Every structure is written in structure tokens, then in C-alpha cells.
Structure 1
């Protein structure tokens, strides 16, 4: 297994063209995959000189099937399997592999037993500069490092201005561009101190769109001045902070590139705007090239990879046709027509990628030195960090104008795995309670005519089944109809353990009180219960605009 790497100057003239191309490829590796597929990737790593791999949970849960119906395998020890596969793939490679993963809210984003932290929109409830954001990045970075990962493809630098955004939403720090910029830098600073590489995404900003780029091509139809003032600010800030990578998004931006090309495939967006205007000198990592926003454009195997490289991407992520991509790129380098890839274009990308690998494998620190003005962080347990985050982010979106009648209070617990809330509240407070649960097919109780509680005071604890807005966050119509009726006829305190945008659903605005706990993680459930017991306050701030709140 390789543990060190030669200097760029020692390989620049000796490494064959095809191996230089291979170093720019970062195919997907699946933690839960068949042995045949694992051996196939090992062979490709050996034969093509692959430079890195990006881990996903499984083929059924990756990218273009994210909203699909394929059955997703469950592996209670995905983390252990990840470590095994990293060792196998590194052993198969003559040159150390860069190991990447999307761990925007921790390894749990891809692994059942990876540590989970709240998603970015929850961190957005903290004021700018709050130390907990940096501590979260540090803890996530330590988790990645312990697993053998070098590169966390985070933070998300998108400013989420569209409540209906199907693909960003809760992954963004919020709707205020200054706020997003400060939080993104803080999270990266924490990762940096843990010696983990970072990547700002999805350039030039995917937040003000309403199309899922896994499936179709979004259009960001805003003026150049507006983009410069809002969407580009977080990317500027992260570039100034020394971020190692930037990931262009699969979206077209007519005001900056009228050709209609996605930013991922646009020389104007990458070379002129990102490198020219913003001055980025690091590694450009394409978004997953299997996503339909770009993959549908090219039928010939390998053609998409060649176009993406020629546009200015240095690393081609989630390339599916590896052999054909190497061949197609090599062919275009050797030709001299207008569609060719110049030898210099290829060499520029190879140099950037190789020198980044030198930083990872030739020194004791993966990243550039953290800001000397910031105090050095000390490791803390994931549970302690989650507890601190739950206390600091709990948000009172709407408070009562009348006194609570705690003597005649009914509880409705809607969702799965609400045991932490129940145990913290105590059985004595749940004497009059009702439970509602659902699965992928809808409400498990087939009775859509649920009785309203007799009590005037009702606390509805809601943990929606999905974080994304598709299909009302997975909430069946029978439940949302019930919610409307309940809020019209009773004094309801709504406790939301999920995406703040759920508050846009019918009925929520009529709730007499709204408590936002952001996450169903146990620590967040317990903090919400303490609020109803009168033991804690709710200091967080709503990071997005919700009409009526």
C-alpha cells in the first residue's frame, strides 16, 4: 500500500499520458457493493492509474436515484466496511489515492453508523462567528481522518433563496449571503484544523433554483450584478480562506454564459469567472458526471469527461465509463483541431492535482495552516457537540400571546423514533397522548379521520419522514389535512424536528406556538422536551424566510 508520493518535478516528464489522465479521474466507490464490482474497480485503479475515489453509500442511493424507488441496502457497519475498502483500493494503487466523500453533516450522510451532526440550515440558526460552527467542522474532520478520508466535499456555499429548491434547501446555511459566507468559512476552518481538505460547492450558486440537477438542468436566471453581490460572496470568502477545491454546479447561468452550457462544462464559468474574476488557483472538482443535467447531453462514452476536462475541471468526479474516458481524452490531446484538448490544458490539471496529493502524502498536515488568530480546538465527543448544538440552535419561531394551560394539555407524537423526546419529558406528562406514524406507503394507521383531542392545549411533535420538500416532505395528505383542522380548532404548539421549510405547509401558520428543533437526533429531541418542561430557553434564529413567521 503506497504511503508516500514523489515530487511533481520527478514525475512530470516520466509519467505516461494515459496515467496523467487517470490521475484526474475520481470514480464513485460504493460502501455497499458486490464483490464483483469491488474487484472491477480494483482492476481499473491498477490498469488506468486512477487518482482518487469518492465514496457513496450504495448504487441505489447515489445521485440520480436519490429520489428513486430502488431498495437501498442497510448495513449496520458501513463505517467498518468503508475502512476495509479504503485499504483494499489503496493497496491496488501504485500511487496513493485521494479519498473523498460528501460528509456535509458528518459521515452519517453516507454511512448508517457514521456520526451525525445537524445539517447546515440548523447551524444557520447560530449567529455569525459562533464557535460551534468551527467546532462542528473540526469534529467532522476528525471523523473523516479516522476513517482514512482526506477530502470532505464541503461546505455547501449556496445561498438558499428558493423555498421550493428540491436539491439544496437544508444543505445551505440560510438565505442571507453574508451569513452563509461566514458560516461556510467557519466550518472550513474547523475541517482545516483537523487536516482535512475542503471543497466549496456548487459554484456559482445553486440555492435560487427550483430544479433538481440530478434529473434536469436548472437555470439561474439572475443579473450579473445580483450574482456578484449575493451568490458569489461565499465562494469569494472561501477562496480567500484558502479552500483547496471548488465544485461547479450543473446549472446554466445566462447572464454570465449565454451559451446555455452548464457551469460544469463552461470554459467561461470556470476559466473566466472562477479562475479569472475570483482568482481561484486550487483544484476544480466537477459535480457528479452521472447526473442527468449533464449526462443526457452526450451519448458517446467518454465524451462528457473530455468536454468537462477541456472546460477547466481538474478532477472528474463520478465518471462511469473510465476506460472510454481515458481513451477519449487521450485522443483529443493528440489531435490539433478546434475541439482538441491542448497538452498544456491537461498538464495544468495534472500539476494541480499532483501537488495537492503532495500536500496530503508528503507532509504532516493536509491543509494550509489554520488562521493563527483562532484558538486551537480540542477534540470533544460527538455526543457532547450535538448536545451543545441542540441547546444553542433551538428556535422559538412563534411564541404564544396567551398563557399555556398546562393542566389540560394533550400530546400528539407524529413520526418514527421519538423515544428520546418521550423519555426526557417523562411518562407523567404523556398521560393523554396520541401517536401517529407512517412508512413509505403513507400513514400506518389507515384511519384518516383521526379524532381531535378534547383538550384545548395540544402539543404536536412532528418528525417528517423526509428532509427534502418533494411530496410535502413525505407527509401523506391525510396527515396534512389533519394538521390544518387541528390548528384551526385547537391552540397548537408545533414542535418541528426537521427542515424549517416544513413550516410552509398548510396549517402551520395557524399554530399558536412554533418551536423549531431542526433535527430528530436524540440530543435535539431532548432539548425540545426540556423547553416544554420550562427548563431551557430557545436562543436560535430562523435562518430562512418563512411567510407568516
Structure 2
């Protein structure tokens, strides 16, 4: 790694152009080609950018949300990640601040790395803040093992809209106090290992049915309502001393005179509300500037970067026009404005580089995941007695899940037809249901015929249902007609074992669903 230290003396020696370069955090991808890696090395060396935000591949990045490009898989992703971080640090004159979205662990971006439960699963843990603290701590250790300084999480959006296409399972729940206490525990756990955090997506992305990767969501509430709910977790965590805040791409008319300007590039919202009214003087980072909510409206290279900086963002995440952005900021910004942002960034960098540990090993999530599984398991419909009585019947077991990502629709339907024939004469059915995907697009991956089949079983048989996935997917099923429905939340081995133990009557369900399904 480069030898230059993050001291005040070094900061004073930066040219104005180098200072502006430090504001930029372009994307880095672990599955890039050698030519693409060299291009980024040149960008780092020539423009003195301040940091990198790592993604799995260009095909998995925000602008490919529609899934038009095939995502490559790499069994050695973690080793490649470490090598690339070291290589990019070598190319930098000043140490790079390395960031990643690791809300539920490095596995959010890097396959074959430790995965911890989703926020909604943690939200089902009643009164167990110690487990959430430990999740933040363990994920921080994995970040440290990789050479990452900044985990751009947790999400503190209050998910009050069941049709939210992008937050949903990434939120701790729909209650502001619950979200705040869990997010605080996660942040404290992360920071206990010296890893930086960033709460998101200011001023609150929970009550929308639009995905900001694709369009601009509108939060049509009064300022009083926003202060009471959406802004509440941010305000509380500001008081708790959070490292940074990520601003989302949202239209929030009640907070600005310019209703057409998204929050991520809106001075009324970032400088006016977040800084002046809410008193936050830490680092503000933009959500990815390549997301269609903003990028498609500013085709002139550099314009979006300037607007984001001028609004009050210190770090320009996933900026795609570095050269033009630097030129436009140099042309339009005051030196005082540049210096103020750089001071915040430099302070954050100094803090980050005090806690590096290249010898740390990746964590083993199994034990912690088992504890979380036991505390989150939720008996949503029915009673323990109903399951006990069902267990005495001569029931059949129906497992509905995808065993391969390459299964064709024809193969799925053929398997479904066979299943229908097998259970035609049964009266009691235990359904083990795993939605094909965690995200709600395309009915969580369910085919129409699968939904109809499950509902037919519920209508015509005595059904106990165990659901191993995003609980919002249950909206397609008439679960009130089941003898019992148990939400398991994850399909990890530890969660499967806990579900089995619950069905056999050896453990109780302690969890509580942290959101409304309807």
C-alpha cells in the first residue's frame, strides 16, 4: 500500500484539483477484465479519487437492475476482491477509502463469503439487541478481513408500504422505535470493530412503490409526518454519533421549494434539513449516481456530479464522469466549500485507517445464525396445539423450491403436474415453501400455476405451511385458511433445522413479524 499518511500536513499539501478528486467514489467490480482494471488504476492515479465502492460485476450493478446482462459467478471472489483492493491501493497516491454494501454480510456482493440474516429477519427478533449488535460486529470483521473500511449500511428506512419493490426485506420493520433500536445496535456492533457505517436512504425510502434504480419515487407526506416517522431514525442515530448518512434518490415535495429536484441533488433537503435543521455535520454520501432516478435526467457529463456536490454530498458514489465532474466542480465551487467536504472525508479516512488488520480471518456465521433462527421463528397463523394435532395425522410433505437456477418453465410445470398427481388423494399436507427469489419482481419468481396450486391445497386440504423466505411473498396465499403458518424468513441450513425442531415440538416460536403483509 502507498506510504503517504493521512495527516493534517498531507492534507495541507493537496492541490485544489487533488482535493476535488478525493470527493469521488467510483464503482469497482471484482469480475472486471484486465483492461477494465487498468482503466480504473489509471483513473485512480490520474485524478486522485478518494475511494472505491465495490460491486460484484457490471452485470449486477444498479443500471442492470432489469437483468438484461448475465451475471458471472466466481468461486474465488473473495481472493480476487482482496487482490484488487491491494492493487488499487498501490495505484493511489493517497490511501483509498474502500466501501461496500454489506447489509447482511459480504455475501450481498461477494459469493462464497459469510451471509447473515436479512434485516427483516433481525426485526422479528423480539428484545434481542445483543444478537443484532453481534451481526454488525461479525460483518465488520469480514470487511476488515477483505480490506474494506466502510460498510454502507444499515438501512433505516421504515417499510410501511408492503408493495415497496426495493426496500422491503432490507428494512428492520414498520415501527420507528423498533427500526431505530435495531439499527443502533447494528451500528454499534460495526463500529466496535472500527469499521465505518452509513445509515440510508435519507430522508426515508420505506413508503414508496417505486424502485429508485429505475424511476423517481415520490414521498407525498407533510413535513410534520416525515419528522414524526421517516426522519425519526436518522435524527436519533445522529444523536448517537453515526459516521455518515447516505441520501437516496427521492422526490419529497414537503421538504423543498423545488419539487422536481430529487433529494440526492437537493440543497434544501441535504444542506437545509439534514445539516442545518437536524444538525448532522458528518460525511454525507450520495446513493449511486448511475441509478436511473437521477442519471437519465442529466445526460451532460459532469452536471450530475456537480449538482450532487453543490447540494451537500461530500462523497459522490458510483460517479461515472470523473474528469468532467472534477472540471465542473472546480469551475463552480468555492474553495471553502471544497475544503469543508474534504475535511469531513479526511477525518473519516483517518479513523478508518486506524483499525486495519490484514491478518484477520473470515467469520463463521453458523452459531449466530442458529440463535437468530430460534429467536425470529414466527407462528403467524394458528396455534402450537394445531401443529401438535396435525403432527399426529398421516400427512404428506410437499417441498416447493427451486433446486437449480437453470430450471426452465417447462421443467417447473412438469414437476408441478407430478406433484399434483401425487397429493390428489391426500387430506393433510405439510408445505415447505421457499420463494424462488428474495426480491418482489415478477411475483417473487413464482409462476402463476404455482400460486394457484398452493392456494388450491390450502382450500381443499388441512395445511400447515412453513415459509422460508421474504414474508411479503405470503401476500399471494390464503394463509388465514391454513391450520398454521410459520414464517422462517431464511432458507439457511440453521433456519431449516430450527423449523424442523419447531414442527416436532421441541422448540417454541418466539418471533414477531415486524411488518404488515396486507
TM over 0.5: yes
Aligned to 2:439, which of 456, 460, 468? 468
> 1:464 offset after TM fit, Å?
0.9
For residues 45-444 of structure 1, the aligned pairs below 5 Å read 45-128=44-127, 130-260=129-259, 261-332=261-332, 341-361=333-353, 363-364=354-355, 381-400=364-383, 402=386, 403-417=389-403, 439=406, 441-442=408-409, 444=411
Specify the alignment match of 1:509 in structure 2.
480
- Cα deviation for residue 70 of structure 1 reads 1.2
In the alignment, structure 1 segments of 5+ residues that lack a partner are: 333-340, 367-378, 418-436
What is aligned with 1:371?
A: none
How far is the alpha carbon of 1:272 from its aligned partner?
1.1
Q: Which runs of 4+ in 1 moved over 6 A?
A: none
- Cα distance in 1 for partners of 2:280, 2:410 equals 50
Aligned residues of 2:20 and 2:326 also touching (Cα < 8 A) = yes
Distance 1:487 1:255 in 2: 45
* Counterpart mapping for 1:29-44 below 5 A: 29-44=28-43
| Structure 1 pair 114–365 and aligned structure 2 pair: CA distance change class (3 A) | closer
Please give the TM-score of this superposition, normalised by the length of structure 1: 0.89
**SS, match of residue 445 in structure 1:** helix
The 8 Å contact of residues 128 and 182 in structure 1, kept in 2 or not, is answered as no
- Evaluate the alpha carbon distance shift between residue 91 and residue 438 of structure 1 in structure 2; reply closer, same or farther with a 3 A threshold: closer
* 1:355 Cα offset (Å): 1.6
CA-atom RMSD in angstroms: 1.8
1:524 aligns with 2:513: no
| Greater displacement, 312-321 / 456-465 | 456-465
Deviation per CA, 1:379-409, whole angstroms, max 9, x where unpaired? 9741111111111111111124742153411
How far is 1:240 from its partner?
Answer: 1.5
CA contact (8 A) 2:114 2:364 kept: no
TM-fit CA distance, 1:440: 6.6
Shift of 1:83: 0.4
Whole-Å separation in 2 of the counterparts to 1:123 and 1:320:
35
1:338 aligned residue: none
The Cα of 1:276 is off from its aligned counterpart by 1.2
Aligned partners of 1:198 and 1:458: how far apart in 2? 45
The range that moved more, 352-361 or 57-66, is 352-361
Does structure 1 retain, via aligned residues, the 8 Å contact 2:391–2:504? no
Partner of 1:477: 448
1:509 deviation in Å? Answer: 3.3
The 3 A distance-change label for structure 1 pair 438 and 330 is closer
- The DSSP-based 3-state class of the residue aligned with 2:463 is strand
Are the equivalent residues in 2 in contact too, given 1:416–1:438 (CA < 8 A)? yes
